[in-house]
Structure 1
Amino acid sequence: MRIAIVGPTYPYKGGGAQHTTELAHRLSALGHDVVIESWKAQYPGFLYPGRQTISAPEGLPYPKTLRRLDWRRPDGWVTCGRRLRSADLVVFAVLSPVQVPAYLGILYGIAGKTTTVALCHNVLPHERKPYDGPLMKALLKRVDRVLAHSAQQAALAAELTAKPVRVAAMAPHLPSKNAEKSGQVHNNLLFFGIVRPYKGLDLLLRALPDGVGLTVAGEFWGGLEETERLIAELGLGDRVELRPGYVAAEDVPKLFARADALVLPYRNATASQNVWLGHEHGVPVIATRVGALADHITDGVDGLLVEPEDVEGLRKAIERLYADPVGLRSGVRSVDPEPFWSEYTAALLDS
């Protein structure tokens, strides 16, 4: 089968680009002729406050990649669609409604000549704007089918389109780490990734017990000054290290090596790689019961689960961790990606 994936890949960074790349590799390994149609300019800077690209790849780049799409050139979107008429399947990696105008232009060029799928990382953003719903509705009505990463997201998609919606759990797309188990206790926790209000960093700061430190590593999409003020207000300046900015792949192992646990105090979530990321680096994960986070944690074995927006419950979970930090770490196992990818590609290709 000739398959085109439209979405970000290296030199774009982050989970979406990594997923697009790994998906291309996986489909190619199944014997399909796969190309990635990617971007030379994906978003205007004011719509993406973080750093968009990186100089070194996060994993193995996919060789059959075209980087011709440009947010400033709608004529190029239509041209891309005409080029993709010869494909048997076109997969749109949907990370944000900001992508929708370009995707609609590509669909206009395709003109119904091939099967199209919207692969929705999030059907709608966690923090929504008035135009998000109409844009996503316009896209999902024009593709042939939708792939969502959870039943909750599939139900949300079904509110926007009558087209078939399938569900496949997000498959792991992580670099192999093979972390060694350590008996050392660092009295330090890790909050990792893009910092946005729905991820609950403020809750974690309020829950941090005496004597426990915290490293916050990731790009702040606003709120850095508010976070600094909260740290000062809570008297945590000597225990909280802020490392704002994108964390390069080669620096990630060092962060996890000095953490006793990864903490994900999210207010809401869909699918996330971060539980697997923590386990791949040999550390337990404390997370809220939102989205798919709880699906990958066995409470009391390789992590701890708490209710969202429960500061006291989060504090008690951290104290429970430090009652036996080595014991909880001993239950951590790396994820086997093969079963996940087998189910994922089958759901994507199922006509």
Structure 2
Amino acid sequence: MRVAIVGPTYPYKGGGAQHTTELAHRLSALGHDVVIESWRAQYPSFLYPGQQTISAPEGRPYPRTERRLDWRRPDGWVATGRRLRSADLVVLAVLSPVQVPAYLGILYGLGRRARAVALCHNVLPHERKPYDRPLMRALLRRVDGVLTHSGQQAELARALTSAPVGVAGLPPHLPSTHAERSTTVHRRLLFFGIVRPYKGLDLLLRALPEGVSLTVAGEFWGGLEETKALVAELGLADRVELRPGYVAAGDVPGLFARADALVLPYRSATASQNVWLGHEHGVPVIATRVGALADHVTDGVDGLLVEPGDAGALRAAIERFYASGEPERLRSGVKAVDPEPFWSAYTSALLAL
């Protein structure tokens, strides 16, 4: 089958780009003729406040990649669709409603000459704008199928389209790493990744027990000054290390080696790689029971689970984690994920739509 995947890949960074790249490798390994149609300019900077591209790849780049799409060139969107008319399947990787105008242009150029599937990382964003739902409805009503990453996301999609909607859990697509392992209890926790309100960093700061330190490493999509003010208000300046900005793949193992646990205090979630990333580095995970996080943490075995939105419950979980011998016991239960069964199920669900 001739498959075109439209989405970000290297030099773009982050989970979406890693997923697009790994999906191309996986489909190619199954014998399909796969090309990635990617971007030379994906978003205007005011819509994506973080760093967009990187100089060194976070995994194996996919060799058959075209980088002609540009958010400023609607004519290029249509031309891409016309160029893909010879494909059997066109997969549109949807990370944000901001991509929808370009994808509508591609579909217009495609002219229903090939089957089109919207692969939705999130059907609607966690933090929504008034235009998100109309844009996603316009896109999902024009494709032949939709793949989502959870039952909840599938229900959102079905409310927007009559096209077939499939569900497949987001498979592991971790960046290449040589994980450092630590056997020392540091009394230090790690909050890792892009910082946005729904991820609950403020709850973690309010929950941090005496004698426990925290490293916050990742890009702030707003709220950095408010976070600094909260750290000062809570008297945590000597125990909270803020490392705002993109964390290069080579720096990730050292961050995890200094941490006793990764904390994911999310208020809401769909799918996330961060539990698997923590386990890849031999680190237990303290997470809230939202989205797929609870599916990837075995409570009391390789981490702890807590209800979302409750700083008191989170503090109690952290205190429970630091009971005598508990960090070592939970660390011994951590095992790196085997990606193969996840990817087998995922590619089967995609190709079945």
TM range (shorter): over 0.9
2:254 match: secondary structure? helix
1:45 match: secondary structure? coil
Shift of 1:320: 1.1
Task: Pick from 325, 331, 334 the counterpart of residue 333 of structure 2.
Answer: 331
Map of 2:182 onto structure 1: 182
Over the aligned positions, Cα root-mean-square deviation in angstroms equals 0.8
Map of 1:300 onto structure 2: 300
Letter in 1 for 2:155: A
The answer to whether the Cα contact below 8 Å between 2:180 and 2:254 also exists between their aligned partners in 1 is no
Dislocated runs of 4+, deviation >6 Å: none
Please give the per-residue CA displacement for 1:45-77, whole angstroms capped at 9, x wherever unaligned: 100000000000000000000000000000000
The residue correspondences of 1:45-56 to structure 2 (distance < 5 A) are 45-56=45-56
The answer to whether the Cα contact below 8 Å between 1:181 and 1:330 also exists between their aligned partners in 2 is no
* CA gap 1:54/1:177 in 2 versus in 1, 3 angstroms: closer
Shift of 1:183: 2.4
The answer to whether the Cα contact below 8 Å between 2:262 and 2:283 also exists between their aligned partners in 1 is yes
Map of 1:344 onto structure 2: 346
The answer to whether the Cα contact below 8 Å between 2:180 and 2:257 also exists between their aligned partners in 1 is no
Letter in 2 for 1:97: P
d(CA) in 1 for partners of 2:335 and 2:180?
11
d(CA) in 2 for partners of 1:180 and 1:127?
35
2:156 match: secondary structure? helix
d(CA) in 1 for partners of 2:178 and 2:114?
42
d(CA) in 2 for partners of 1:246 and 1:176?
16
1:47 match: secondary structure? coil
Shift of 1:219: 0.3
Map of 2:169 onto structure 1: 169
TM-score, reference length from structure 2: 0.98
d(CA) in 1 for partners of 2:150 and 2:142?
21
Shift of 1:181: 4.9
The answer to whether the Cα contact below 8 Å between 2:148 and 2:165 also exists between their aligned partners in 1 is yes
Residue 270, structure 1, aligned to residue 273, structure 2: no
Please give the per-residue CA displacement for 1:286-323, whole angstroms capped at 9, x wherever unaligned: 00000110000100000100000111110011111111
The answer to whether the Cα contact below 8 Å between 2:177 and 2:249 also exists between their aligned partners in 1 is no
Unaligned runs of 5+ in 2: none
The answer to whether the Cα contact below 8 Å between 2:5 and 2:34 also exists between their aligned partners in 1 is yes
Residue 121, structure 1, aligned to residue 121, structure 2: yes
Residue 200, structure 1, aligned to residue 192, structure 2: no
User: Alignment length, in residue pairs?
Assistant: 351
d(CA) in 2 for partners of 1:93 and 1:246?
22
d(CA) in 2 for partners of 1:149 and 1:244?
29
1:189 match: secondary structure? strand
Map of 1:60 onto structure 2: 60
2:322 match: secondary structure? helix
Letter in 1 for 2:200: G
Percent identity of paired positions between Structure 1 and Structure 2: 82
* CA gap 1:176/1:301 in 2 versus in 1, 3 angstroms: farther
Please give the per-residue CA displacement for 1:308-339, whole angstroms capped at 9, x wherever unaligned: 01111100111111111111111000000000
Residue 212, structure 1, aligned to residue 212, structure 2: yes
The answer to whether the Cα contact below 8 Å between 2:58 and 2:176 also exists between their aligned partners in 1 is no
Please give the per-residue CA displacement for 1:168-189, whole angstroms capped at 9, x wherever unaligned: 0000001354646532001100
Letter in 1 for 2:350: L
d(CA) in 2 for partners of 1:228 and 1:309?
21
d(CA) in 2 for partners of 1:54 and 1:344?
27
d(CA) in 1 for partners of 2:301 and 2:220?
31
Please give the per-residue CA displacement for 1:102-150, whole angstroms capped at 9, x wherever unaligned: 0000000000101000000000000000000000000000000000000
